[in-house]
Structure 1
Amino acid sequence: MNNALDWAFYFDLDGLAPADDVSEELVEMFRPSDLTVLAHHRTEPNGSHSFVVAHDVSATWGVPGAPQVVAMAVARDLSRSTFTMDSSYHAAAPFAQNWLIERGCPPERIALASGNFVAPADDLTVQVEQKIRMSGARYEVLDTCTSDFDPSETWTLAFDSGATQVPVRIFREEWDYNAGTYTVREGAFADVSAARSWLDDRPGPLPAPPEDRLDNGSALRTRVALARSASPSATPKAAVTGTPPAKPVQRPIQGRLL
């Protein structure tokens, strides 16, 4: 499978003109050689819409901490020989998938292919990712950071409009490249200041959301055990603030080919 972005294969824009300035600018901005496709879907039978999740390798060398996963949506109007394109950058693939699902992509069609990518380390990771994918407009993303240095991680700071308590959430990904796996954990905080304090100091596992703490005892014990097993290591503040280490080592992020 060739995972490089091929405009003709994924978007089929031959003979079509951009319908607006934004679409034209996006086509000019993206360099296909910089984009590795992680998942894609094209609607049938007319093939009028395309959805793509890709990793932008050029982001590694851009602004420190910038998100590296891009979601792209194209709508083709064959009657007018035009197309519209929209895109959005995210720190983690589930947020990119959520963005595409909200724009009409069937959830099962935009899943990352199993076997070719870094795999979830446990069931809790799968559950948290599914929660993000199917959250609709529940989460307002306030900030993100991506570090592809050791330790490799991303975090997404978000406001949870569906939470009745501690509505500020951190979703943190961390990868174990030796094992070929990654973990995702959710933490709940009363406000942004408390969340940022955790990111700065990393005093222990992310505090579990109240809705998880109210689960039955067995589920709670399982979640706590999983969270402790993936307790964050002492992360240099450079990785959190986006300042790269003196000698960066380029690493693949979640969803990248093994």
Structure 2
Amino acid sequence: MTADLDFALDDLEPADLDSEQAESLLWAGDLTVLAEHHTAPHRSHSYVVAHDTSATWGVPGAPQVAAIKVARDFGLGTFTLESEYHASVPFAQAWLIERGCPPEKIALAEGDFVEAADEQTVRVQQMIRDGGQRYDVIDTWTWDDNPCENWTLARDSAAAEKPVRVFLEVVDPATHTYTVREGAFPDEDTARDWLEDRSTPLPPAPDDHLAADALRASVALARSTGHAGSVTACGLDRIPAPAPSTVSVQRPGPGRSL
């Protein structure tokens, strides 16, 4: 985990308008690298999960976890850059894995973040990371004050019933742990009603789409290759609270090279 980031693009030009716009929306000074992978031997591709500290001071509820992919063509002197924001690390990891990053290379290091409270949390996070295009994210919310939580509202294309899912992550500062739970709903309106009301327990998701052996295997894999961790502002137990800042659209300056 490091606080400095440089996209190493000073000698390259954006290959297309989308890459130019994506780069302009990222300011390296606001990004804290949580996990990263660079292809060998020439680092032509970079995959990064980062916490955007500026999101804390921006629009309430905005996602704080950035997934970033950079592809450099040194022969043409160009680069392509894609990024997408998520409320939680597993969804950011899944986005990068779907774009070519080896799953084990983008795991978060043990010890830098609050820990998963139980095996169910590990299982649900691994299911998200392995999901590929399974989950179509509808909406997210992040709250880094008390209670510290984030949720992702998504449609599960593999669900045999109740296809709208809520993934709720809650941090317990007293124990330095967090939980992730999956809830299942028949439609988006019902899910939003529950998120607004919270007077009943989160309806559990049926496990008919995963065999018990697969569940145990996913937990074992998560334990052996790293974990997600909670990285909202109250879940980063080794990063000091950021000072207020504004998002800059200028090209990143010198710093840590991807």
| Per-residue deviation, residues 108-143 of structure 1 (Å, max 9, x unmatched) | 000011111111111111100000001010111111
The code of the aligned residue for 1:105 comes to C
The residue aligned with 2:27 is: 31
Q: Distance in 2 between matches of 1:253 and 1:213?
A: 33
Q: Distance in 2 between matches of 1:256 and 1:23?
A: 33
Q: Distance in 2 between matches of 1:23 and 1:256?
A: 33
Structure possessing the higher relative contact order (Cα contacts under 8 Å, 6 or more residues apart): 2
**1:14, CA displacement in angstroms?**
3.6
1:122 aligns with 2:118: yes
Pick one of 67, 72, 93 that aligns with 2:68: 72
The residue aligned with 2:56 is: 60
Moved more, 57-66 or 93-102: 57-66
Query: Does the residue aligned with 1:210 lie in a helix, a strand or coil?
Result: coil
The residue aligned with 1:257 is: 238
| Per-residue deviation, residues 235-255 of structure 1 (Å, max 9, x unmatched) | xxxxxxxxxxxxxxxx72445
| Per-residue deviation, residues 7-54 of structure 1 (Å, max 9, x unmatched) | 1xxx43242121122222233322211111111100112311000011
Between Structure 1 and Structure 2, how many residues are aligned? 221
Give the gaps of 5 or more residues in structure 1: 220-250
The residue aligned with 2:44 is: 48
Preserved contact between residue 159 and residue 209 of structure 2 (Cα < 8 Å): no
Q: Distance in 2 between matches of 1:69 and 1:46?
A: 27
The code of the aligned residue for 1:152 comes to C
> What TM-score results when the alignment is normalised by the length of structure 1?
0.80
The code of the aligned residue for 1:130 comes to Q
1:113 aligns with 2:113: no
Pick one of 173, 178, 182 that aligns with 1:177: 173
Structure 1 pair 142/213, CA: closer, same or farther in 2 (3 Å)?
Answer: closer
Query: Does the residue aligned with 2:136 lie in a helix, a strand or coil?
Result: strand
Q: Distance in 1 between matches of 2:98 and 2:44?
A: 17
Give the gaps of 5 or more residues in structure 2: 216-231, 240-258
| Per-residue deviation, residues 155-178 of structure 1 (Å, max 9, x unmatched) | 111111100101110000000122
The code of the aligned residue for 2:164 comes to V
Pick one of 133, 142, 156 that aligns with 1:146: 142
Pick one of 100, 106, 115 that aligns with 1:104: 100
The code of the aligned residue for 1:136 comes to G
Q: Distance in 2 between matches of 1:212 and 1:202?
A: 25
The percentage of counterpart residues that share the same residue type is: 57
Query: Does the residue aligned with 1:105 lie in a helix, a strand or coil?
Result: coil
Preserved contact between residue 38 and residue 255 of structure 1 (Cα < 8 Å): no
Q: Distance in 1 between matches of 2:101 and 2:112?
A: 22
Query: Does the residue aligned with 2:60 lie in a helix, a strand or coil?
Result: coil
Q: Distance in 1 between matches of 2:114 and 2:121?
A: 12
1:4 aligns with 2:3: yes
Preserved contact between residue 91 and residue 146 of structure 1 (Cα < 8 Å): yes
